[in-house]
Amino acid sequence: MSILSPSFKFHSFSCQTPKPIVKKSYSMDFQFILTLSFIAFTLMVFKYKARTRRLPPGPWKLPIIGNLHQLGDSSHKSIQRLSQQYGPMMFLQLGAVPTLVISSADAAMAIFKGPGGGYDLAFSGRPTNLYVAKKLSYEYNGITFAPYGELWREMRKIAVAELLSSKRVQSFRTIREEEVAAMLNHIDIASSSSAPVNLKKLSLLLANHVVCRVTFGKKYGGGGDGGTNRFDRVLHEVQHLVGEFVVSDYFPWMWWVNKLNGMETRVEKNFEELDKLYDEVIADHVAPTRTKANHEDIVDVLLRLQKDARQLITLNNQQIKGVLTDMFIAGTDTTASSLVWTFTELIRNPPSMEKVKYEVRKVGNGRDKIEESDIPKLHCLHSVIKETLRLHPPAPLLVPRETTEDCVVGDYEIPAKTRVIINAKSIGTDPKYWENPHDFQPDRFMKSSVDFKGQHLEFLPFGVGRRGCPGMSFAIMLLQLMVANFLYRFDWELPEGMSVEDVDMEEELGITVFKKTPLCLVPIRVV
Would you list which residues are annotated within the binding site for heme?
Answer: 469
Question: Is 426 in contact with 76 (CB distance < 8 Å)?
Answer: yes
305 CB-near residues (< 8 Å, 6+ apart): 158, 162, 311, 315
DSSP string, 446-492: TT----SSSSSTT--TT--GGGS-TTHHHHHHHHHHHHHHHHHHEEE
Residue 318 identity (one-letter amino acid): Q
Per the DSSP assignment, residues forming a β-bridge with 401 are 420
Task: Tell me the backbone φ, ψ of residue 344, rounded to 5 degrees.
Answer: -65, -45
User: What's the CA gap between 286 and 42, in Å, rounded?
Assistant: 55
User: What's the CA gap between 79 and 90, in Å, rounded?
Assistant: 9
User: What's the CA gap between 75 and 61, in Å, rounded?
Assistant: 17
Of 281, 291, 331, 317, give the one whose Cα is nearest residue 172: 331
Q: 3-state class of 94 per DSSP?
A: strand
Question: Is 72 in contact with 78 (CB distance < 8 Å)?
Answer: yes
Annotated binding-site residue numbers: 469
Residue 216 identity (one-letter amino acid): F
User: What's the CA gap between 206 and 405, in Å, rounded?
Assistant: 42
User: What's the CA gap between 425 and 499, in Å, rounded?
Assistant: 27
| Three-class SS of 405-428 | CCEEECCEEECCCCEEEECHHHHH
User: What's the CA gap between 207 and 111, in Å, rounded?
Assistant: 34
Distances (CA, A) of 316 to 215, 276, 303: 17, 16, 9
Greatest Cα pair distance in the chain: 102
Q: 3-state class of 313 per DSSP?
A: coil
Where are the alpha helices (H) located in 55-118, listed in sequence order?
Answer: 75-86, 105-112
- DSSP β-ladder status, 97-102 and 419-422: parallel
Q: What sign does the CA torsion over 139, 142, 145, 147 have?
A: positive
- DSSP β-ladder status, 490-493 and 419-422: unpaired
DSSP string, 371-407: -GGGGGG-HHHHHHHHHHHHHS-SSTT-S-EE-SS-E
Question: Is 364 in contact with 374 (CB distance < 8 Å)?
Answer: yes
DSSP 8-state symbol, 262: S
